[in-house]
Amino acid sequence: MLNMKKNKLMQTSFDTGEISVPYYYGYDCLDSFVHLINGYDPDRLLLVIDRAVNDLNPNLIGSLSKIWPVSSVILQPDEKVKNIATLSKIAEDGIKAGISRKSIVIAIGGGVIGNIAGMVAGLLYRGISLIHFPTTLMSASDSVLSLKQAINSTKGKNHLGIFYTPKAICLDISFLQTLPKIQMRCGLCEIVKNCLAISPENISWFKDIANPNLNFSEQELIDLVSMAIEDKSKVTFDDPYERGRGIVLEYGHTVGHAIETLFTQENRDIKRFITHGEAIGLGMLYAAHISADLGYLSPEEVDMHYELLTAIGAQTLIDLDFNVLKSYINFDNKRGYLSFGKGQIAMVLLERLGKPLNTGQYPLRLVDIDYLVRANKKLSKLNESKSMVGV
Amino acid sequence: MLNMKKNKLMQTSFDTGEISVPYYYGYDCLDSFVHLINGYDPDRLLLVIDRAVNDLNPNLIGSLSKIWPVSSVILQPDEKVKNIATLSKIAEDGIKAGISRKSIVIAIGGGVIGNIAGMVAGLLYRGISLIHFPTTLMSASDSVLSLKQAINSTKGKNHLGIFYTPKAICLDISFLQTLPKIQMRCGLCEIVKNCLAISPENISWFKDIANPNLNFSEQELIDLVSMAIEDKSKVTFDDPYERGRGIVLEYGHTVGHAIETLFTQENRDIKRFITHGEAIGLGMLYAAHISADLGYLSPEEVDMHYELLTAIGAQTLIDLDFNVLKSYINFDNKRGYLSFGKGQIAMVLLERLGKPLNTGQYPLRLVDIDYLVRANKKLSKLNESKSMVGV
C-alpha cells in the first residue's frame, strides 16, 4: 500500500494493455493539479461538475476561470441524466463556446459525471483530452480505473459507450471526506466486490477497518483506493477492453444493474432510492446464492458476503417481484457474450472466493431462470433469518 | 489495377496502421455476400439502408429476413439526418428489437448511411460488428476507406465521432451503375482530389476516361475504386487516425465543409442543393487559388483543378457572401491542430500537385483571412472568365 504525505502530490498509474494512465493523488492539492493541467497547455477547459461538489466548493469554477477560458456544466449526478440528451447538450454548448481539439474536458465528480464527461471528450472531434477528478470513493477506486465510458439507453445501463483513455487522473483525498455516507457506502460495496471476487487475502484487513458509521482516516482512505487500483489492474492488465478476464469486475452487476435501473426509471412506482454500489451489493448476494445452489460456494463463503456488506451498513434484503426484475435482467448489457436459450441468463459466478467460474474464455456462466427465482426468495424481507439494514 | 471477373467474389484489403479490413467486391454477387455474412454467425442483423437503394431493391430486406432476424432502418441519405437524434432512435429501437453483442450492423448506402451506421455499431455495447455495403462511388472509393465515423452537430459536419473498424467491406459494382449522375459526380470529385493532392501520375488516365455524361464501363468503375483504395492507403497506412499525413485527405474540405453545411442547414435561405463531392470540388478551387496566391501552385496547376472538375461536369463557380461563408469556416473541425490567431484558418494547401504544404507534423498551413476573400472573388459567377456548369 502507498504512503501519503500531506500537501505533496504523489503518483501511481492505472495500467491496462499497452496503456498507462498517470494517477496523481494528494491531500489539499488543488494548486498542484492546476500546475499539472497547465503542462497540457489547453486553450479552454470544459468542466463537467457534480452539483453537490460545486455547492461545497463555490469558488472552484471562478478560480479556474482566472487561468483559462472555462465552460462549465453543473449536473445532478443521477443515472437519469446519463443519457444521450445530456451528452448532446454538453457537446453542442461546448462547440458553441469554442471547444477545440486543444481543449481539455475535466470530470469533477463521481461515476455518472466521469461517464458523461468521458463520452463528451471521446466523441468531440473524435476525441479530445480528458482528465478525471474523482470526488467519490466509488469513482476514485473503481469507475476511473477503466477505459469504459457510457450512457444509458431507456432500456438499461451503459448500452451506448466507447473505450476512451483519460490523459490523467487527479484525486484530492480531502474531497472524499466531505462525502455523504450514502456515497461512501456506494464505493465501499465495489471494494467488497474486489475482496470477494478478486483478492480474498484483503478480507481480513478490510474487516478490521470496516465500520457501519464509515469513519476512516486519511491513510485508510488512501489504502482503500490503492488496494482498488491494484485489484483492478490485476484483472484488466492484459484485458484492456474487459472482454475476457476483466468481466469478473461485473460480479453482482447482472442483477445489480437490473435493480438499479428499476429504481431509477422515470415511471417507477417504487419510490425508494438505491445507489449503484448497494444495488451491486444485492446483486452479489444473488450471485452468491446461485453459486452455492450450483454446488460451488460453501455456506460460509455466502455468509462472508453478508458479513462484509453488513459491516459497512449496506442493505442485504430486498423485496422484488420476480417478473419485474426479470424483465430488466433481459436487457443486461452482457447479452451476446454467450449464446443462451430462452430462460437462461449469463452471470459472473464464483467457484470459490477470488475465483470466478469460467465458460471458455469468459468468466461467465449460463444460469437457468429457476436459480434466480430461488435466489430472489432468499433476498426477500420475508426471510426473517437476516435483518434488513437501512441506508 | 485489379481485374474483375463477373459473378466471382474478389478480395483486396484496406490497410491502415495495424488494421487490415477485407474488401470484397464483385458484380451481381449478393449471394456470395450472404454466405460471407453467415460466416460471422450473427444472431440478428441491423440494416441501415438508403431509401433509394431500398426502393430500387424492394426484395432486399425480405430476402435477408428469411435467413436471420432482421431489424431495418430506411433513411433519406441527407446530411440533415446525420445527427444525434437519428443515432439515438436507431440505437434505442435496435436494443428494443433484441440487438446483442453478437449482432451485425450492415450499412447499405453512401457516406451518410455508413457514418450513422458506423456510430451505431461503435457505440452499442461499446462496439458490435459493422459491415459496410457501399452503394455509391463516393462511399466505395472514399468514405468506407476510413475508420472515421461521425455525426454532425448543429454547428458543422462530423463534430461528434469515433474511430471504429468495420469487420468487412462488401461492394457489388452493379449497384454503382444504378446511381443518379449527381451521386456519381459526387464520388468522382473525391477521386479528382486524390489525383491532385496525392497521385498526379493518375491524372492522364483519369482525363482519358472522364466524361460529363459519366458513362463508365464495369472495368472503369472497378479501376476507379481500386485506384482510390491505393491512394487512400498510401497516406493512411502509417496514420490510421488521420492526425498526421492523412490530413491531406482533407484537401478542399475546410471551405468545402462550410459550403456543404451552409447548403444543408435547416433554416437556410439558399434553396439550391449541393453534394458533398461538389462542395469539396469548390473547396479545392479555393485551396488552389490560395496556394497560387502564396506563390506555390503555378497557373497551369490551378487550371488543372478546373480541367478535371469540368471534365466530370462539376460546378466551378459559386456566389457566396464572404461573411456568411466565414462564419461556417470558423467551426471547421480541424480547429486546434494548429494554434492560430484571430483572422487565421488552418487549411490543407499544395506546394505542387501531389505535395501538400507542411507545418511541423501536419500537412496544414495557417492562412490569413484576406487570402480567402481573394479566392472567394475568383469563384464568383461575376468572374466571367470561367463558365458555371450546372448539376
Q: What is the pLDDT of residues A226-267, one digit of tens each?
A: 898 889 888 887 777 777 888 999 999 999 999 988 887 654
- In 10 A of CB A255, how many CB atoms? 29
Q: Are B314 and B185 in contact (CB under 8 A)?
A: yes
pLDDT for res A271: 52
How confident is residue A333, by pLDDT bands cut at 50, 70 and 90?
Answer: low
CA distances from B153 to A87, A106, B79 (A): 12, 21, 11
Side-chain half-sphere of B361: how many Cα atoms within 13 Å? 6
Does position A335 have pLDDT exceeding 80, yes or no?
no
pLDDT for res A115: 96
Note whether B126 contacts A148, CB cutoff 8 Å: yes
Q: Which residue has the cell 491513510?
A: A219
Alpha carbons A26 and A3: distance in angstroms, whole number: 10
Does position A215 have pLDDT exceeding 60, yes or no?
yes
State chain B's mean pLDDT as an integer: 88
> Closest residue of A to B125, CA-based?
A159
Mean pLDDT of B231-259: 86
State which amino acid sits at residue A101.
R
Alpha carbons B143 and B141: distance in angstroms, whole number: 7
Note whether A95 contacts B159, CB cutoff 8 Å: yes
Using alpha carbons, select from B138, B222, B219, B144 the residue that is nearest to residue B184.
B138
pTM for this prediction? 0.80
How confident is residue A164, by pLDDT bands cut at 50, 70 and 90?
Answer: very high
pLDDT for res A254: 92
CB contacts, 8 Å: B162 with chain A: 122-123, 126-127, 162
Q: Where in chain A is the domain with CATH 1.20.1090.10?
A: 221-379
* The domain defined by B10-179 carries CATH number 3.40.800.10: no
Bigger pLDDT: B270 vs A275: A275
State which amino acid sits at residue A256.
G
Lowest mean pLDDT among A124-128, A246-250, B114-118: A246-250
Q: Are A322 and A261 in contact (CB under 8 A)?
A: no
> Closest residue of B to A128, CA-based?
B336
Q: Percent of chain A beyond pLDDT 70? A: 90
pLDDT for res B195: 97
Q: What is the DSSP string of A194-256?
A: HHHHT-GGGHHHHHHH--TT----HHHHHHHHHHHHHHHHHHHTT-TTSSSGGGGGGTTHHHH
How confident is residue B88, by pLDDT bands cut at 50, 70 and 90?
Answer: very high
Alpha carbons A55 and A76: distance in angstroms, whole number: 11
Q: Which ranges of chain B would DSSP assign to H, the alpha helix?
A: 30-38, 51-56, 60-65, 84-97, 111-123, 137-138, 173-176, 181-197, 203-209, 218-236, 253-264, 276-293, 299-311, 322-329, 369-379
Residue A258 has phi, psi (to 5 degrees) of -60, -45
- The residues of A annotated as belonging to the active site are 148, 250
The β-bridge relationship of strands A365-368 and A344-347 is antiparallel
CA distances from B2 to B26, B227, B255 (A): 11, 9, 34
Length of chain A: 391
Task: Choose among B84, B95, B336: nearest Cβ to A153.
Answer: B95
pLDDT for res B340: 56
pLDDT for res A1: 46
Distance from CA of B205 to the nearest CA of A (A): 36
Residue A356 has phi, psi (to 5 degrees) of -75, 150
Residues 196-235 of chain A whose Cβ lies under 8 A from any Cβ of chain B: none
Mean pLDDT of B218-238: 86
State which amino acid sits at residue B197.
A
A74-95 pLDDT, tens per residue? 999 888 899 999 999 999 999 9
> Closest residue of A to B98, CA-based?
A331
pLDDT for res A276: 87
Mean pLDDT of B246-261: 91
CB contacts, 8 Å: A123 with chain B: 160-162
How confident is residue B244, by pLDDT bands cut at 50, 70 and 90?
Answer: confident
Bigger pLDDT: B117 vs A141: B117
Given the residues B79, B82, B148, B190, select the one marked as catalytic.
B148
> Closest residue of A to B129, CA-based?
A336
Pick among B95, B157, B247, B362 to test the A interface (most A CBs inside 10 A): B95
Does position B272 have pLDDT exceeding 70, yes or no?
no
B161/A contact by beta carbon, under 8 A: yes
Where in A135-218 does DSSP place strands (E)?
A: 148-153, 156-163, 168-172
> B26, exposed or middle or buried, with CB in 10 Å at 0-12, 13-18, 19+?
buried
| CB neighbour list of residue A133: distance below 8 Å, 6 or more residues apart | A33, A106, A107, A108, A109, A169, A170, A171, A172
pLDDT for res B382: 60
Mean pLDDT of A33-60: 95
CB contacts, 8 Å: B102 with chain A: 336, 339
Residues 298-357 of chain A whose Cβ lies under 8 A from any Cβ of chain B: 331, 333-337, 339
Mean pLDDT of A45-60: 95
Residues 232-291 of chain A whose Cβ lies under 8 A from any Cβ of chain B: 241
How confident is residue A336, by pLDDT bands cut at 50, 70 and 90?
Answer: low
How confident is residue B100, by pLDDT bands cut at 50, 70 and 90?
Answer: very high
Task: Choose among A100, A154, A333: nearest Cβ to B125.
Answer: A333
Does position B123 have pLDDT exceeding 70, yes or no?
yes
Note whether B123 contacts A148, CB cutoff 8 Å: no
The CATH homologous superfamily for domain A221-379 is Dehydroquinate synthase-like - alpha domain (1.20.1090.10)
Mean pLDDT of A47-60: 94
CB contacts, 8 Å: B104 with chain A: none
Which cell is B42 given?
Answer: 450473427
CB contacts, 8 Å: B124 with chain A: 159-160
Alpha carbons A379 and A282: distance in angstroms, whole number: 8
Alpha carbons B156 and B149: distance in angstroms, whole number: 15
Paired with B49 in beta bridges are B74, B108
State chain A's mean pLDDT as an integer: 88
Mean pLDDT of B215-237: 87
How confident is residue B141, by pLDDT bands cut at 50, 70 and 90?
Answer: confident
pLDDT for res B388: 42
Note whether A125 contacts B153, CB cutoff 8 Å: no
Does position B379 have pLDDT exceeding 50, yes or no?
yes
Task: Categorise residue A28: left if φ over 0, alpha if ψ from -120 to 50, beta otherwise.
Answer: left
CB contacts, 8 Å: A102 with chain B: 336, 339
Note whether B91 contacts A159, CB cutoff 8 Å: yes
**H-run or E-run covering A189:** helix A181-197
Note whether B125 contacts A162, CB cutoff 8 Å: no
Mean pLDDT of A128-155: 92
Task: Choose among A92, A126, A335: nearest Cβ to B162.
Answer: A126
> Closest residue of B to A154, CA-based?
B92
Alpha carbons A345 and A340: distance in angstroms, whole number: 7
Lowest mean pLDDT among A144-153, A370-379, B8-17: B8-17
pLDDT for res B165: 95
B1-49 pLDDT, tens per residue? 444 455 578 888 888 878 899 999 988 888 999 999 999 999 999 999 9
Mean pLDDT of B271-289: 89
Active site residue B250: yes
Alpha carbons B40 and B4: distance in angstroms, whole number: 25
Q: Where in chain A is the domain with CATH 3.40.50.1970?
A: 10-179
Kindly tell me the sign of the dihedral angle through the C-alpha atoms of A220, A221, A226, A232.
positive
> Closest residue of A to B84, CA-based?
A88
pLDDT for res B240: 74
Active site residue B148: yes
Q: Are A204 and A170 in contact (CB under 8 A)?
A: no
Using alpha carbons, select from A8, A3, A1 the residue that is nearest to residue A172.
A8
CA angle A125/A128/A130 to nearest 5° reads: 145
Does position A390 have pLDDT exceeding 50, yes or no?
no
State which amino acid sits at residue A33.
F
Most confident residue range from B23-27, B168-172, B182-186, B213-217: B168-172
CB contacts, 8 Å: A124 with chain B: 159-160
Alpha carbons A44 and A94: distance in angstroms, whole number: 10
pLDDT for res A331: 67
Enter the DSSP assignment of B165: -
Task: Choose among B95, B148, B161: nearest Cβ to A155.
Answer: B95
Paired with B355 in beta bridges are B352
CB contacts, 8 Å: A331 with chain B: 95
Does position A155 have pLDDT exceeding 80, yes or no?
yes
Note whether B336 contacts A103, CB cutoff 8 Å: yes
pLDDT for res A81: 94
pLDDT for res A387: 40
Angle between helices A218-236 and A181-197 (to 10 degrees): 40
- In 10 A of CB B305, how many CB atoms? 26
Side-chain half-sphere of B62: how many Cα atoms within 13 Å? 5
Mean pLDDT of B166-179: 91
How confident is residue B391, by pLDDT bands cut at 50, 70 and 90?
Answer: very low
